[in-house]
Amino acid sequence: MDVEKVFHMTGGVGKTSYAENSSLQKKASDMVKHITMETIQELYYALTPKSLGIADLGCSSGPNSLSLMKDIVEVVEGISHKIFQPLPEFRVYLNDLPTNDFNSVFKSLPDFYRNIKKDRNEKGVNPSIFIAGYPGSFYGRLFPNNCLHFIFSSYSLHWLSKVPQALYDEHGKSKNKGNVYISGSSPPSVSEAYWNQFQEDFSLFLKSRSEELVTGGRMVLIILGRIGQDHVDRGNSFFWEILSRSLAISVSQGEIDKEKVDSYHVHFYAPSTNEIEDEVKREGSFEVEKLEMFEIEREVKNGGSYGSAVAMTVRAIQESMLCNHFGNDGIDLDTLFNNYGKIVDEEMAKEEINPITFVLVLKKL
């Protein structure tokens, strides 16, 4: 499966769209907003560029990306006023895979520009903001040399460039049957395959960004992760365990073929802090300024269950891959994720599920 051609968050603004089911991602971004804004302040004080290059890698199709840009503009405005410098122009590059619903983002631009202008009419100064879409994989070069000052990426870098080939034997059969990700029943070669793929991808990501960022440029990266060396925990890996169990129910009910399920694996990896730091050090282009862990508190909207909210989020993320693998008519997603939500609620009644998120701040050397 060619991930770059298939994978995307569910587009549009419908009930199952990413735009309607990305509140957890927005909450995470808000929780580390102070870190993002502090990083912007330090960067702007140090470099004071006349044209500020900003990229959001993995912008997706929801409202979160433009919300961040509005915050950045406000922070830079405040600093410019303090140090008696003219406001820079803002070059904003929104990046995601080619299959992303960029149209949903572009349709919201008139409102974004209108709100920016409305908020600043009294001041008599309107910032020059140039926003463009940049489709393509961030596992490789995207931008010209030294054109960026700040890179932001939220909930994107735990997605690998591809499903590790080493998960399959010489006959193309899965070594991790019945599991979509690393589980307690997975052989050691499975976690090794995922780790090797993450190393390769993250190293390429760092090398590519080092050529695009100016010296002293910064990156703020929000990424799902894990505590310690054990790949199997009651956090991010457990949510994939629940998807495996939900697919097994669909098999038992005759809705999908077991062989199809056995060959379905996610292109995901939750690294530990040690793995992240080791890779940054090994690649050598960046200095780790900050690496913090946080957990997002449970949030339920409109009286629904937590399980249902998680199920809708996972569906918005996985729908494109599931439909490609099983066929649009080959899987009942409503039933699958209804079962998923029920299992989450049942498990939460027994013991908490605590997915871990890291915020990483890197400075270009």
Q: DSSP string covering 40-96, please? A: HHHHHHHH--SEEEEEEET--SSSHHHHHHHHHHHHHHHHHHHTT-PPPEEEEEEEE
Closest CA to 235 of 352, 157, 155: 352
pTM: 0.93
Q: Can you tell me which residue has the tokens 């199709």?
A: 61
276-296: b (≥16 Cβ within 10 Å) or e: beebbeebebbeebebeeeeb
pLDDT in tens, the chain (365 residues): 667 667 765 555 555 555 555 556 667 778 899 999 999 999 999 999 999 999 999 988 766 678 899 999 999 999 999 999 999 999 999 999 998 888 888 988 998 998 888 767 666 678 999 999 999 999 999 999 999 999 999 999 999 999 999 999 999 899 999 999 999 999 999 999 999 999 999 999 999 999 999 999 999 999 999 998 999 999 999 999 999 999 999 999 999 999 999 999 999 999 999 999 999 999 999 999 999 999 877 766 666 788 998 898 899 889 888 988 988 667 899 999 999 999 999 999 999 988 999 999 999 99
CA–CA–CA angle 105, 111, 115 (5° rounding): 130
203, 218 Cβ separation under 8 angstroms: no
Question: Tell me, what's the pLDDT at 363?
Answer: 98
Question: Tell me, what's the pLDDT at 14?
Answer: 56
Using only C-alpha atoms, the chain has a radius of gyration, in whole angstroms, of 21
CATH fold group of domain 3-364: Rossmann fold (3.40.50)
Question: Tell me, what's the pLDDT at 72?
Answer: 95
Tokens coding 201? 């991808």
Dihedral of CA atoms 252, 257, 259, 262 in degrees, nearest 10, equals -60
The span from the CA of 210 to the CA of 202, in Å, is: 12
- Helix axis angle, 23-31 to 64-82, nearest 10°: 20
In sequence order, what E strands does 203-309 have?
213-225, 286-294
The span from the CA of 187 to the CA of 169, in Å, is: 13
The span from the CA of 194 to the CA of 226, in Å, is: 14
Q: Where are the alpha helices (DSSP H) in 163-257?
A: 188-212, 236-252
Burial of 302 per CB tally in 10 Å (0-12, 13-18, 19+)? exposed
95-119: b (≥16 Cβ within 10 Å) or e: bbbebbbbebbeebeeebeeebeee
Cβ atoms < 10 Å from Cβ of 203: 16
Tokens coding 13? 């603004």
Task: Label the pairing between strands 286-294 and 356-364.
Answer: antiparallel
The span from the CA of 181 to the CA of 269, in Å, is: 9
